[in-house]
Each structure stands twice: as structure tokens, then as C-alpha cells.
Structure 1
Amino acid sequence: MAAPVVQVICSFIGWASLYISFCQLNSHHRYEWSCRLVTLVHGVLSVCLSAYVGFIDGPWAFSHPGSSNTVLQTQVLCLSLGYFIFDMCWCIYFQTEGLVMLSHHSLSILGIVLVLALQHSATEVNAVIFGSELTNPLLQTRWFLRESGCHHTLLGDAVDFLFVLLFSSVRIGVGGWLLYCELSSPVPLLIVKLGGVAMYVVSWVFMVSIARFAWRKSSHKYKTWRERNRVQFTTTNQWTHTESSAT
């Protein structure tokens, strides 16, 4: 465990240094702006690395759950673990997140520490990181659009739609398939399986909140569309009636 510990410490220092650099470059913005930029960088980087590990380097998480950790898997997990520790400390210090998000971060940290200590099951944890972080760039983009006053635009609607689509299909759909493979396999330890169940439950808690948001936004847009059409119809009728009277 000596080498992974050093990698995690270096990762934490690297993410903290990147945050400090962003704070200096964006001194006219709030600290959360810089933290979101770090989160965006980690999201893109972790998706690329975990995709390479899962789809190219292997082994395949759906057919080999519980397999021994590879060197590359360990390095990717250490990189993400350093970020999650940094972000957890930031969230606790600034008190910006609720219980659900803190639970998600805690489970992520404990899960990565567990598979690093056991030296197996990094395959499926890497797949979970890929699925979890795949929607992260869209989430951060949505936040930046809202902060810039551009959320209620066509781009904002497209980002929201893609986020809901990816979250429901990947984290709930594909994530459910991965959990089934994990639970049905005799190789992974029980504690790893329980961790997978806990992460999937948290994903469903997020999914319920996202579904409520999507319903409210869709209802609001539908009502706005109906009201706009009603006003246009009324205006057209009044104009036609005025022209008829004048004739």
C-alpha cells in the first residue's frame, strides 16, 4: 500500500494546487467557481482514463468483477481518490453540499480505499467512476451557464436534456446491469457487493431529484408555450377583427 498512498498524496497536492491556481486566475469570481473548474477537469480526465482502462486495457467489468487490480487501474483510482478527498474537504469547509452529496463522496472514498487495500475489484470500481463522472462535465457546464445568466437558452436546454438522458441511461440503466453482474458473481467479496448496492441507492436518490426537476421544467416550458400561443392567437384575432371593421 506504500506506493498507492504516495500516489494519493501527490494527487491531492496536485488538485489542491490546481484549485489555488484557478483561484488566482479567477480572483473576480467566487471560490466555488474555481472549485467547479477543478471538478470539470477531473470529470473529463477521469472519464478518458477510466474509458481507456475499461474498454481497451481491460479486463471487462461486466464479465470479470472481482479480478486483481492492474497497475493502470490502481493509478487511475489513486488519481480520483486524491480528488475526492480534496473535494470532500472543500465541501465540508465551505458547507456547500447536503447530506446526499456528502454521502456520495464518502462512499466513493471508502470504496476506492477498500479496493486498493484488497488489491482486487478495481475493475468494477473503475466502471463506476466512468459512469458517475460521465455526466459530471454536463453538470458543471449547467452551473457555469446559470452563473453566467445563459441557462435559460437553447444551449442550457440541450445541456439539461443530455444530462438527464445520460444519467438515467448510464448511471441507472447500465449501472443496474453492472450491479447485477457484481451481485451474481461469486468472486467479489460481500463488502464490495454491499458497497455497490449503497452507491446504486445513492444514484436512485439523485435520479428522483433529477426526475422532479425535469418534470417541473417541462411543465413550466409547456405552460409558457401555451400562454405564448394563446397571446399570439388573441392578437391575431384582434388584428383581423380591426381590419374587418375598418373595411
Structure 2
Amino acid sequence: MLELLPWVLGSLLGWLSLYLLLCGAFRARGAEWNCRLVTLSHGVIIVLLTAYVVFIDGPWPSHTQNTVLQERALSVCLGYFFFDLSWCVLHRSEGPVMMTHHGASIAAIAVTLWLGSSGCETCGVVFGSELTNPLLQARWFLRHAGRYDSLLGDAVDVAFISLFAGVRVGVGSVMFYRQLTSPRPALVMKLGGVVMYALAWVFMVDIARFCFKKSKGKYRRWKERLKLFPFFDVTSCRCPIRK
């Protein structure tokens, strides 16, 4: 673990330097804009890196000894989470659920590096967790630019919800079950899996509420448009006046 400390510190300084560089380049933008650019950059990089670790480099099954690439990937991710958690605390931008998620992520990665095992499944969890992150940031930037209420905004929402439900909850449930039933992972890793899986369902409930609220709003606006144009028969796609 101690030999990986320079990698973690280097990652932390790297993300902090990128943030300061963006703050200097985009002075007219707020701090959150630049922080989300860093988050977007991390999301893209870590998804590509962990995808290679999980699907190409391996090895599986779980609780095998960490490889060098797994340790490098997790060190980069750990440095970012230290940066993002510090930023959130400084700006008080997140609620208790997201702060718990950040703390649990830091603890899980740190324990994985300390034990020297379970690197592959931890990279798998990071991949599933960060896969939807670029879409989440795209949604924020669209909203900030005033273009969220558009076909593109709807497409981003559908892609985000589908990936979250399919990967983080669907595939995550399979991984969670296999981790709990396997005798190989350490007890502390199983407890970490319980926390991360519970948080995934908390987020899923929030997403379901958002889907219901947005669908209800779209349906209400559709009904209002029908009231404005009562002469248009949408069921037959013909104008009754012309009959």
C-alpha cells in the first residue's frame, strides 16, 4: 500500500492541477462548471481504463492478487475521489447520500489496495459506477446551457436511466450475489459490497421518482397543447374541420 502512495498523491495533484488550469482558462464560468469538467474527464478516462482491466487484462475470478495495472487504475481513481470529496466539503455542494457514496468509494478502494487482492472486482464496481457519469455531466451542462428540454436532453436521460438500471443495478446484483456467496473475498470486502449495493438502490429509487415526475410533466404539457388546439384530432392524425 505504501508504495502506491506516490501514485495516489500524484493523481490527487494531477486532478487538482487540471481544475486550477480550467479555472484559469474559463474565468467567466463558476467553480462547479470547472469541477464538472474534471469529473467528466475522470469519468471518461477511468471507464476506459477499468474496461480494459475487467474485460481484457483480468484476471478473474474474484479475490485474486492485484495486478500492477489494477493498482494503477485504482490509485488514479482514489486520488480523484480525494479531490472531489474535498471540493464537495469546501463548497457544500452535495447531500449526505452522495457524501456517503464518496466516503464508501474511498474506503473500498483503499482497503483493496491495502489487502493487495480483489482488485479486479473493485475495478468492475468502479467501471459500473462511473459508466453513467459522463451522461450525468452532459445532463448538467445541457441544463446549464438551457438546452435540456429538448430531444437531446431526453436522449441523454433515457441513456442514463437505461445504463444505470441495466449495469449498476442489473449486473451489479449478479456481482453482489456472487461476492456474498463466494468464500474467497474477505469479510470487509463483502461489507463494502453491501454498502455500495445499498447506495445503488437509493440512487435507483431517486431515479425512478425523477422518471415519474418527468413523465407526468410531459403528459400534462401534452394535454395542455390539446386544449390549445382542440380542432386537431391526434388519434386519427386528421383535422376534423376539413371533413
* Counterpart residue number, 1:21: 21
- TM alignment of 1:1-247, pairs within 5 A: 1-60=1-60, 64-234=61-231
Residues 118, 185 of structure 2: 8 Å contact kept: yes
Whole-angstrom CA distance in 1 between matches of 2:159 and 2:189: 31
User: Comparing 111-120 with 216-225, which one deviates more in the overlay?
Assistant: 216-225
- Per the normalisation by structure 1, the TM-score is 0.93
Distance 1:83 1:232, change over 3 A: same
Amino acid at match of 2:68: V
Distance 1:76 1:240, change over 3 A: closer
- Per the normalisation by structure 2, the TM-score is 0.94
Figure out how many residues of one structure are paired with residues of the other and give that number.
Answer: 238
Give me the identity figure in percent.
50
1:227 positional shift: 2.2
What RMSD in Å do the two structures reach over aligned CA positions? 1.6
1:240 positional shift: 7.1
Whole-angstrom CA distance in 2 between matches of 1:170 and 1:235: 42
Whole-angstrom CA distance in 1 between matches of 2:146 and 2:52: 36
Residues 115, 122 of structure 1: 8 Å contact kept: yes
- Runs of 4+ in structure 1 deviating by more than 4 angstroms, as ranges, are none
1:222 positional shift: 1.3
Whole-angstrom CA distance in 2 between matches of 1:126 and 1:228: 48
Larger Rg: 1
1:235 positional shift: 6.7
Residues 65, 181 of structure 1: 8 Å contact kept: no
Amino acid at match of 2:46: S
Amino acid at match of 1:41: S
Gaps of 5+ in 1: none
Amino acid at match of 1:103: T
Deviations 1:126-145 (A, max 9, x none): 00000000000000000000
1:2 positional shift: 2.6
Whole-angstrom CA distance in 2 between matches of 1:198 and 1:24: 38
Residues 46, 127 of structure 2: 8 Å contact kept: yes
Residues 231, 240 of structure 2: 8 Å contact kept: no
Amino acid at match of 2:105: S
Distance 1:129 1:229, change over 3 A: same
Deviations 1:44-84 (A, max 9, x none): 00000000000000113xxx111110000000000000000
Amino acid at match of 1:5: L
